[in-house]
Amino acid sequence: MDISYILNDLNDAQREAITAENTHALILAGAGSGKTRVLVHRIAWLTQVMGFSPYNVLAVTFTNKASSEMRGRIESLIGQQAGGLTMGTFHGIAYRLLRQHHQEVGLPQSFQILDSDDQKRVIKRLLKAMELDENQWPHKQIQAFINGEKEEGRRPHHIDIGHNPFVGKMVQVYQAYEEQCQRSGLVDFAELLLRAHELWLKNPQVLAHYQARYKHILVDEFQDTNSLQYAWLRVLAGGSGKLFVVGDDDQSIYGWRGAKVENIRQFEEDFANVKLVRLEQNYRSTGTILKAANALIAHNTTRMGKQLWSDGEDGELIKVYEAFNEYDEARYVCGQVEAWCEQGGSRNEAAVLYRSNAQSRVMEQALMQAQIPYRVYGGLRFYDRAEIKDILSYLRLLINRDDDAAFERAYNHPPRGIGQKTAESIREVAKHNQIPLWQAAEQLVEQGLTARAKTSIANFLGLIESLTEATLGLALEDQMLKVVSRSGLQAHFEKDSSEQGKGRLENIDELINAAGQFKQMQSQTTAEGLPTESQVITDGVDAIAQQDGTLLHTPQYDNPLADFLAQAALEAGEKQADEWESAVQLMTIHAAKGLEFPLVFMIGVEEGLFPSQRSHDDPASLEEERRLAYVGVTRAEKQLMITFANHRRLHGTEIYPQPSRFIKEIPSDCVDLVRLSGSVRPTVAGGYNTGMNASLQAALDAENETGFSAGEAVFHQKFGDGTVVDTEGSGDHARINVNFKNAGSKWLVTAYANLQKK
């Protein structure tokens, strides 16, 4: 038999993996090492060489896209024989099992699947029926509790309540939810897997049938399995089925949604005679990028270990850009994208990766200003996100009570007891009298509503009136802070402790940042003689110096809130690039998993942002953050650029972050520290002071003609004691950024500042 078509174009490790004997196998597949190829060729080997029928093979993936791609490649390799193969996602396979065995699991044949939104609505109706205040029992928290317990294989009667009344009430809601779903013939996503697992446990004859059928079970992205998925696989494999699992413990980044990296580490202990194969040859990235990735991930102590390598070129050094702030950072990215295109590259070859979704706002703004088409991959643009629209609707009502769209969005969000019937009454009065919804609501408060509805509407109208009065004369940022707090939106979103909920809070913080910076960026006048290059590193702000050396800003706008809302609407109105259009891709590093790009930017690589502040006191979380950084680095094929800022506005606060430890963990001979021409900034603290492009470093250091250096203690007659943060320019136009203990951060023109060294 000619089997060369199965073995051709495989490296030695790949051949070793796919030709494994009839045993369990754990394939540690590094980034870009050809794991899908190994899975496809393993199936071909099983069916064409070892003589197993496709009917005896089960292949499990995590996404429909991966399943479809794998099936297409198998069909091209072995032809129509692939038709008997069972392949799909965990949820898809579980669904088919439950359809086939609905009687055994106690479901009607026509049972329906609840998606996340449907599940939320069922829970909200239950809370109302049980007379539980949603402010005290948020539906999102209960939804996460139910799904989390199911993913651990626990029904309500399995949960130890102990003496905790809170857990007791959650279990009570869980029980009521189960009963409601059973009566209605409804199954949520977590229930699909739990019922499929219980099918095995409660029906030995059914389990025996499938164990006899599936002699070989192949699993993709094994590091992402949760407790229930792994338990399901173990039961199905039993004593005869052989598991062939492919994964990478270094790319386990979904712990926050239940994935257990421990599964891949436990595999060799749970199964006997496991064949372990490491796929370490990378076909994606340059040698320099791989060297950096290996050094970075080596700092994790709990990994199984492997070393990526390539027989390709070392390629270019990794550029690490030290930005003044997030605006400088975004402009640098835009400039590098334009340079890439000028050298023959295309925009769709470039991806901008970030740790937090909130970071997209400044990047989107810069790309729009530079007229560079972009798309947000796997998510919404900043001003399209629900929590941002919620806050903007309140702000719009503050300046225009006749804004019906804003009224519709704000009146019952967060929930304040205004039912659908009351809302319809308001709409009917507005339509009949040809008046705005606000006026209709005012009329109905005077007459025509029940006492309860009248109170709820009056409270909302009073809230807007009181917010208008309370925010009068405040700075734009303070106006927004007041609205976010007193509207109840902040407290509403804080109830959701999930990763998604934390992301919403980060987006709200970023909107407040945008408000704080908006007026500053829009209301400056240009001073004669200010150096052109300074415009690149001062948030786009032009300025003139006063006698004390501070930069004088001259406001030109009488209604900053109206201007801000107009700007937000204009940015929201700018559509993303069409699918056919070459465009830069923006995405979180989580969303980038499985993708690759010739040019990759990782922005905001700073302590407190990446790794996140939440991970600093938890070694396990910090290791997951490092795995996330490793995933980001290994998305790059040819060129990787990493940026960090010396000054950033984060969570509504001006901060001066340190470069991320992840940057410092990259070998210095892999890195080229770059900065914009004409600017002088401090070197990477605690990081590259030797061995990294020494000639460039010396040249940049020589440019600093201010006479001050970063970290130096100084005294100013007006502002008192401070610490030098940054310097810029030379001669009469040299400037210095000082963080004063009692006056905050200020840019001073050195010639006028009269600073004294301490």
Whether 751 shows a pLDDT value over 80: the answer reads no
Whether 358 shows a pLDDT value over 90: the answer reads no
Predicted confidence at residue 527, as pLDDT, reads 30
At position 617, the amino acid (one-letter code) is: D
Predicted confidence at residue 521, as pLDDT, reads 57
Strands 374-376 and 584-588: what pairing? parallel
Whether 171 shows a pLDDT value over 60: the answer reads yes
For the domain spanning 112-184, the CATH number is 1.10.10.160
Tokens of 369: 């200003």
The b-or-e profile of 603-636 (16+ CB within 10 A means b, else e) is bbbbbbbbbbeebeeeeebbbbbbbbbbbbbbbb
H or E element in which residue 404 lies: helix 404-410
pLDDT band at 520 (very low <50, low <70, confident <90, very high): low
Of 559, 529, 564, nearest in space to 543 by CA: 529
Tokens of 572: 């929201």
Q: What is the pLDDT of residues 617-640, one digit of tens each?
A: 888 999 999 999 999 999 999 999
Q: Which of the given ranges, 375-384, 559-568, 665-674, has the highest pLDDT on average? A: 665-674
Taking each continuous run of H as one helix and of E as one strand, the counts in the chain are 29, 25
pLDDT band at 513 (very low <50, low <70, confident <90, very high): confident
DSSP string over 30-64:
-TTS-HHHHHHHHHHHHHHTS---GGGEEEEESSH
Predicted confidence at residue 64, as pLDDT, reads 85
Whether 533 shows a pLDDT value over 80: the answer reads no
Between the CA of residue 689 and those of 237, 668, 682, what are the distances in Å?
55, 9, 11
Q: HSE (CB half, 13 Å, CA atoms) of 584?
A: 28
Radius of gyration of the chain (CA): 30
Of 446, 465, 458, 471, nearest in space to 401 by CA: 465
Q: Roughly what angle, to the nearest 10 degrees, separates helices 139-151 and 189-202?
A: 30
Q: What is the pLDDT of residues 451-484, one digit of tens each?
A: 888 888 999 999 999 999 888 888 888 888 888 8
**What's the mean pLDDT when you consider all of the chain?**
84
Name the CA dihedral angle for 215, 221, 224, 229, rounded to a multiple of 10 degrees: -20
Q: Do domains 4-100+194-281 and 283-381+577-696 have the same CATH topology?
A: yes
Q: What is the pLDDT of residues 376-386, one digit of tens each?
A: 987 778 888 88
- Measured CA to CA, the distance from residue 420 to residue 107 in angstroms comes to 33
Predicted confidence at residue 24, as pLDDT, reads 95
Predicted confidence at residue 622, as pLDDT, reads 93
Domain extents in the chain: 4-100+194-281, 112-184, 283-381+577-696, 384-494
Q: What is the pLDDT of residues 691-735, one digit of tens each?
A: 344 433 443 343 345 677 666 778 888 788 887 766 665 555 566
Q: Is 472 exposed, middle or buried (0-12, 13-18, 19+ CB in 10 A)?
A: exposed
pLDDT band at 652 (very low <50, low <70, confident <90, very high): low
DSSP state of 325: S
Name the CA dihedral angle for 310, 314, 316, 321, rounded to a multiple of 10 degrees: 70
Average pLDDT, integer, range 339-366: 93
Decide: 432 and 595 in contact? Cβ < 8 Å.
Answer: no
Residue showing tokens 């993303």 = 576
Provide the β-strand partners of residue 429.
none
Catalytic residue numbers read: 35-36, 220-221, 251, 635
Q: Is 757 exposed, middle or buried (0-12, 13-18, 19+ CB in 10 A)?
A: exposed
Tally the residues of the chain: 758
Q: Where are the alpha helices (DSSP H) in 279-345?
A: 287-297, 326-342
Q: Quick one: CATH architecture of 4-100+194-281? A: 3-Layer(aba) Sandwich (3.40)
Contacts of 497 (CB under 8 A, 6+ apart): 141, 144
CA 60-61-65 angle, 5° bins: 135
Predicted confidence at residue 223, as pLDDT, reads 94
Of 59, 104, 86, nearest in space to 195 by CA: 104
DSSP state of 651: T
Decide: 217 and 241 in contact? Cβ < 8 Å.
Answer: yes
DSSP state of 436: -
Q: Answer whether 0.85 is exceeded by the pTM.
A: no
Of 715, 693, 751, nearest in space to 546 by CA: 751
Whether 680 shows a pLDDT value over 60: the answer reads no
Predicted confidence at residue 161, as pLDDT, reads 86
Predicted confidence at residue 205, as pLDDT, reads 95
DSSP string over 251-296:
G---GGGT--THHHHHHHHHSSS-EEEEE-B-SSS-HHHHHHHHHH
Predicted confidence at residue 731, as pLDDT, reads 54
DSSP state of 110: T
Decide: 38 and 288 in contact? Cβ < 8 Å.
Answer: no
pLDDT band at 374 (very low <50, low <70, confident <90, very high): very high
Average pLDDT, integer, range 579-592: 90
The SS3 of residue 715 is strand
For the domain spanning 283-381+577-696, the CATH number is 3.40.50.300
Of 633, 18, 596, nearest in space to 275 by CA: 18
DSSP state of 375: E
Question: For 384-494, which CATH class?
Answer: mainly alpha
At position 573, the amino acid (one-letter code) is: G
Phi, psi of 41 (to 5 degrees): -75, -25
Q: Is 599 exposed, middle or buried (0-12, 13-18, 19+ CB in 10 A)?
A: buried
Query: Measured in Å, how far apart are the chain's first and last C-alpha atoms?
Result: 84
Predicted confidence at residue 679, as pLDDT, reads 39
Higher pLDDT: 691 or 47? It is 47
Distance from the Cα of residue 204 to its chain's centroid: 42
Phi, psi of 460 (to 5 degrees): -65, -45
Whether 185 shows a pLDDT value over 60: the answer reads yes
* Percent of the chain's residues with pLDDT above 90: 48
Predicted confidence at residue 616, as pLDDT, reads 81
Tokens of 691: 């061995």
pLDDT band at 547 (very low <50, low <70, confident <90, very high): very low
Decide: 394 and 467 in contact? Cβ < 8 Å.
Answer: yes
Between the CA of residue 182 and those of 201, 312, 392, 560, what are the distances in Å?
20, 58, 40, 54
Higher pLDDT: 751 or 19? It is 19
Whether 524 shows a pLDDT value over 70: the answer reads no
Q: Is 720 left (phi over 0), alpha (psi -120 to 50) or beta?
A: left
H or E element in which residue 751 lies: helix 750-753
Sign of CA dihedral 282, 283, 288, 289: negative
- Measured CA to CA, the distance from residue 351 to residue 363 in angstroms comes to 12
Q: What is the pLDDT of residues 87-118, one digit of tens each?
A: 999 999 999 999 999 999 999 988 888 888 88
H or E element in which residue 711 lies: none
Higher pLDDT: 475 or 228? It is 228
Q: Which of the given ranges, 126-140, 455-469, 643-657, has the highest pLDDT on average? A: 455-469
pLDDT band at 531 (very low <50, low <70, confident <90, very high): very low
